[in-house]
Chains A and B, each alone.
Chain A
Amino acid sequence: MPKYTFELRDGSDGIGDGSGVDLPDRGCAFEFAQGIARELMSGREAQTRFWRLDVYENDRERVFEIPFVSLDHTLDYCDPQWRALITESCERFRSLKEAEHAARRTISEARALVARSRGKPYLATEAGRKTIRD
């Protein structure tokens, strides 16, 4: 039975579920992933509709991408054209946030590298992650 793992793209580095779930086939995996997305979004649709859940099969191939905006029932009143516009905006917004997050990490890393080269103190880890990536 294939194993499916999930990565939440929320504008940061991405949050992974390493252990995964064994499911019979891709159809089941798709429904399961939709269920996860709905649970993650429930109660805060406006704040999370730019998120995306990526689904991987056997830790190798990305088989699905589930944009949360596609499951956002609070947008059901929108006509298709308006909804398409919101969907595209969410995709761009998430990409922008991920780029911003990556830039901030790079700045932190650069500062730490400079400080280390000068023998000065620097923040080695932040929230459990090494500032200077290996």
Chain B
Amino acid sequence: MLAHQPQTNANVFLEALSAPDLELLRTHLAAFELRPGDCLHHFGDTVENVVFPRSGLVVRTLPLGEDAGAFMSFVGRDGVVGGFAAVGGAPANCDAHVLVSGHASRMPASSFRHLLDQSPGIRRLAARLDSAMLVDAQQTALCNAVHPVEDRICRLLLEFQDRIDLTRVTLTQAALAQMLGVRRTTVTLLVGRLEAAGIIVCGRGAIEIISRRELERHSCECYGQVKNYARRLFPRAAEGIVATATGSGERLGRITG
């Protein structure tokens, strides 16, 4: 019996499934609300549910002593939370917290594993998603090692906007600093430089993206590398995200007379 008929076609993974495979999953899916601050799982936990976000944003972090965790990646409708661990019945490989509210579908991890055994199509798609996640993780490791903090800030803002479809990035400078592993003052000064260049505007607790084109130009190559790889694995879904992101307007200087 279905508790709810979720809108399964807004998540990249679910959207890429064939109709028969989607029907297999649909019987196990239930609607699930993402509320800011909710923890989906901690590092080392047994993953109980696999979550398919349809909107909103989840942030994956690695635990770091008593401090807030080290940032790994964002997951929105472009991904799946808990799937990687669920495949092999392994413990969760990161902390996952909801950053921006949204809607999702979820299913028991045991059911997901069973369906992977049943369907080669679902298995192939899961492998593609895992490949995309691995590329993202590898690129982020490289990025953290060699790229300037200013470029990494631009990349983070772009990846946030890709998943939320708004020009307003609801991240504080302190949160950005924690994600990037640098001092808050460093972020403030670099955000000030981007603001002086007319690329963003900083408000209280949020950053407004004024020129996405300039933000992409100032980002490191890692943003494009990961996006291009994902586009090859999920062409239809990647186009949808890119189209939304580049639809944001360019704000001009105010002209008066």
Residues of A within 8 A of B (CB): 6, 8, 10, 12-13, 15-17, 19, 21, 32, 35-36, 39-40, 42-44, 115, 119-129
Contact = CB atoms under 8 A, between A and B. Distances in A.
Given A15-B193, A127-B197, A122 B185 contact: no
Nearest to A123: B253
A43 B197 contact: no
A111 to B, nearest CB: 13
Interface string B165-209: 000000000000000001101101110110111100100000000
Q: Which 9 A-B pairs have the closest CB atoms?
A: A121-B257, A127-B198, A15-B192, A43-B148, A39-B186, A124-B256, A44-B148, A17-B188, A8-B189
Contacts of A128: 195-196, 198, 201
Given A17-B185, A36-B186, A40-B186, A124 B146 contact: no
A53 B49 CA distance: 49
Contacts of A127: 195-198, 253
Contacts of B190: 40
B121 to A, nearest CB: 42
A39 B198 CA distance: 23
B198 A126 contact: yes
Count class of interface residues, chain B: 20 to 34
Given A122-B257, A124-B256, A36 B149 contact: no
Interface in B134-155: 146-151
B255 interface: yes
B193 A6 contact: no
Interface of B: 146-151, 182-183, 185-186, 188-190, 192-193, 195-198, 201, 253-257
A107 to B, nearest CB: 16
Given A21-B185, A39-B186, A125 B148 contact: no
Chain A interface, >50% SS class: mixed
Contacts of B148: 42-44
Nearest to A18: B188
Contacts of A13: 196
A36 B192 CA distance: 14
Contacts of B150: 40
B201 to A, nearest CB: 6
B192 A8 contact: yes
A124 B183 contact: no
Nearest to A10: B193
A16 B193 CA distance: 10
Contacts of A6: 185, 189
A13 B197 CA distance: 12
Contacts of A121: 255-257
10 contacts: A8-B189, A8-B192, A8-B193, A16-B192, A40-B189, A121-B255, A121-B256, A123-B254, A124-B253, A127-B197
Nearest to B177: A39
B254 to A, nearest CB: 5
Given A120-B257, A122-B255, 13 more contacts: A13-B196, A15-B192, A39-B186, A40-B150, A40-B190, A42-B148, A42-B149, A121-B255, A121-B256, A121-B257, A127-B197, A127-B198, A128-B201
A36 B196 contact: no
